[in-house]
Structure 1
Amino acid sequence: MPYASNGETRLYYEAHGDGPPLALVMGLGGSIQAWGMQIPKLSQRYRVIAMDNRGAGRSDKPDVPYSIAGMAGDLACVLDAAGVDSAHVMGASMGGFIAQAFYHAYPGRTRSLILACTGASLYDPEGEPPDQTAMEIITRDRHGSTLRENMAAVAEVFYHPAFRRRVPDLVDRLTRFEEQLPQPPHAYHRQLEAVRAFDPAPDFQRGILAPTLVLHGADDRAWPPGNARLLARRIPGAELVILDNAAHMLMVERPQAFNDAVMDFLDRHRENNAGATGEYGRRHEREG
C-alpha cells in the first residue's frame, strides 16, 4: 500500500491509470471508497491519485488539531510521493475547501479545480446555510451513538430521498463500509474543527485563476446549492453544473451525470499548464 508522509503523519493514497494527473480529495469523514464510481471511469484517460485525508480511511488519525491549510499540505506531500509536479484537483465538500487552499498555497501545481458539493465557508454572509437538521447531524457528538445510528443520520442528510428509496439497504451498506475503515470519533471531530475554522475572505475565491468547475446537487441539504452559485460568481470564469435529483453525495447518486460533467470539463483543459492566469473560456451554467 503506498503511503506519503507529512512530518509524522502517514497519508494513504492510490494511483490508477495513465495520462494527466488528477487528484481526488474527499470530504468530512469520507475515504477513497466514496470515489468508487469515479475512479474506474476517470482513470481511463487520466492518472487518478486518490488520497485519504488525515483522520480518515487508511491514513493516520492523530488526535491533534487539523487545519484546511495543513490538509492542503498533505495533498502536496501525496503528489510528491506519486512523482507529480502538478495536477487537476477535484475536492468534494471539505475536500473542496482543501482544493481551494491547495490552489492558493501551490498555484503552480494546480492545473484546474473541480469543486463538488462545497462552498466558500460555513460563515460567508452571501452563502446559503445548511438546514437545521443537517447541521445538527453533522455536528452531533458521535461518542454516544452506535455506528448504525450514525450511518442512518448520514443517509438522511447526505442522500436524496429518491436514492434512498432505490437503495433500501443504504444504511446497512454504509455501516459495512464504515466497519471496514472505521473513523474514531476524535478524528471526525478534528476534521470538523478544521471545517469550522475555515473562514477566508471573499477575495480568497476571487483570487482563484485556474480553470474551475463547480458541481453540485440541486437538493443538497448539507451545502445548499446557493453555495455553488456563490462560488461560481466569485471565481473568475468558473463553470457551474447543478444536477437534479441529487443531494450531497451526487457522485454516488448520479455517477454517470457526475462523471460526464467532470470528463467534459477535464477534456477541455486536459493539457492546461498549471500556474497560468486569466479568464478561461466562457462562463456557462447548466442544470439537469
Structure 2
Amino acid sequence: MPQATASDGTRIAYQVRGEGQPVVLLAGQSNNHTWWDPIRADFAATYRTITLDWRGTGDSGKPDEVYTTAGFADDVVAVLDDLGLDRAHIYGTSMGGRVAQWLAINHPERVGALILGCTSPGAAHGHERSQAIRRALADPAKTDRVLLELMYTPDWLARNPGPYHVLGDASMPAYAKGRHLVASNRHDAWDGLPGITAPTLVLHGGDDIFSPAANAQLLAERIPGARVEVIAGARHAYFHEFRSVASPAALAFLGAQDRA
C-alpha cells in the first residue's frame, strides 16, 4: 500500500481506485478508508478516487501526540504531493468534512470543488449533539448500538445486519481514539469559512442529530456561494443509506464544476 510522508515524518497510507479527475474522499472520526467501501464504486466509475487512513488509524503511523483537524488537512496535502497532484476535488463527511474545511481555507489552490457532508464549523459556533447523546456514547457497552441508531434509520438497520463500516477502526490504539476525539471537538473553522473560494455543496441528513442538520444551513450561509441539499429522512450516514439520492447529487455537482 502506498504511503506519503507528512511534514513531521509520519507515514500516511492511501488508496487509489478508478480513473479520471481526482476526488479525495475523507472519512469520519476514528475511521479509516473503509468508511467509503459501500459507496466508493459510485465515484470510482467516473473519477480517480483517493482515500487515506488518518494518522492513528489503519496502515498509517500512530504517533501519540496532539492531532488537529488542520493537521489532518496537511496530511491530505502530503498525499496529493506524493501522487503528484496539484489539485483535486474534496468530499469530506463528518470529521472529514471538518478537515475539508481546512483544506479549502489553508490550501485553496489544491481544492477544485468542495463537498461538506454531515459536518459543522465546530462547537464554538455550530449546533452540537445533546448531552444525552454524549452520555450514551460514553458507555462502552452501548457505544456501537447508539452509533448505529445515530447513523441509520431503524428500518434500514432491520434490513441490513452488517457488517458496518462507520463504527470506527477497531485496531486503533486507545490513545489514538482519544486524540481523534479531541481534534474533532476542538475544530473551529468559523473565521476562515468566508474566505473559501472553492465551489461548495453542503449535504446533510434531515434527521441527523449526531451532527445536527441545522449545521448545513449554517455552513452554507458562511461560505460564499455555497449550495445546500438536505436529504429528508436521512440520519448521519446519509451517504450510505440514501446513496441513491446522495451519490447522484454529489456526482452532478462535481460534473458541473468539471464542465465549467
TM-score class, shorter-chain normalisation, is over 0.9
Structure 1 stretches of 4+ moved >4 Å: 175-179
SS in structure 1 of the partner of residue 258 of structure 2: coil
Residue 132 of structure 1 corresponds to which residue in structure 2? 131
Counterpart Cα distance in 2 of 1:175 and 1:270: 30
Q: Which amino acid in structure 2 is aligned with residue 166 of structure 1?
A: R
Q: Which amino acid in structure 2 is aligned with residue 189 of structure 1?
A: G
1:245 CA drift (Å) = 2.2
Residue 109 of structure 2 corresponds to which residue in structure 1? 108
1:150 CA drift (Å) = 3.2
Equivalent positions of 1:122-271 (< 5 A) are 122-124=123-125, 127-138=126-137, 140=138, 145=140, 149-167=142-160, 169-170=161-162, 173-174=163-164, 182-200=171-189, 202-270=190-258
Counterpart Cα distance in 2 of 1:53 and 1:267: 27
Task: Give the 3 Å change call, closer, same or farther, for CA 115–176 of structure 1 in structure 2.
Answer: closer
Deviation string, structure 1 residues 81-140 (Cα, Å, up to 9, x no partner): 12211000111111111111011221111111100000111221xx322133323345x2
TM-score by length of 2: 0.92
Given that 1:93 and 1:116 are in contact with CA atoms closer than 8 Å, whether structure 2 keeps it comes out as yes
2:40 is the counterpart of 1:39: yes
TM-score by length of 1: 0.84
Query: Which sections of structure 1, spanning at least 5 residues, go unmatched?
Result: 273-288
Task: Give the 3 Å change call, closer, same or farther, for CA 217–120 of structure 1 in structure 2.
Answer: same
2:46 is the counterpart of 1:59: no
> Bigger shift: 227-236 or 156-165?
156-165
SS in structure 2 of the partner of residue 270 of structure 1: helix
Given that 1:128 and 1:227 are in contact with CA atoms closer than 8 Å, whether structure 2 keeps it comes out as yes
Query: Which sections of structure 2, spanning at least 5 residues, go unmatched?
Result: none
SS in structure 1 of the partner of residue 86 of structure 2: coil
Given that 2:148 and 2:167 are in contact with CA atoms closer than 8 Å, whether structure 1 keeps it comes out as no
Counterpart Cα distance in 2 of 1:41 and 1:63: 35
1:67 CA drift (Å) = 0.8
Given that 1:137 and 1:154 are in contact with CA atoms closer than 8 Å, whether structure 2 keeps it comes out as no
Given that 1:5 and 1:77 are in contact with CA atoms closer than 8 Å, whether structure 2 keeps it comes out as yes
Counterpart Cα distance in 1 of 2:210 and 2:201: 19
Deviation string, structure 1 residues 199-222 (Cα, Å, up to 9, x no partner): 23x331111111001000111111
Counterpart Cα distance in 2 of 1:252 and 1:136: 26
SS in structure 2 of the partner of residue 216 of structure 1: strand
Given that 1:15 and 1:48 are in contact with CA atoms closer than 8 Å, whether structure 2 keeps it comes out as yes
Counterpart Cα distance in 2 of 1:197 and 1:129: 12
Residue 4 of structure 1 corresponds to which residue in structure 2? 4
Task: Give the 3 Å change call, closer, same or farther, for CA 177–28 of structure 1 in structure 2.
Answer: closer
Q: How many residues align?
A: 259
1:271 CA drift (Å) = 5.4
Q: Which amino acid in structure 2 is aligned with residue 245 of structure 1?
A: G
Given that 1:34 and 1:252 are in contact with CA atoms closer than 8 Å, whether structure 2 keeps it comes out as no
Q: In percent, how many aligned pairs have the same letter?
A: 36
Given that 1:137 and 1:157 are in contact with CA atoms closer than 8 Å, whether structure 2 keeps it comes out as no
Counterpart Cα distance in 1 of 2:149 and 2:39: 23
Given that 1:162 and 1:245 are in contact with CA atoms closer than 8 Å, whether structure 2 keeps it comes out as no
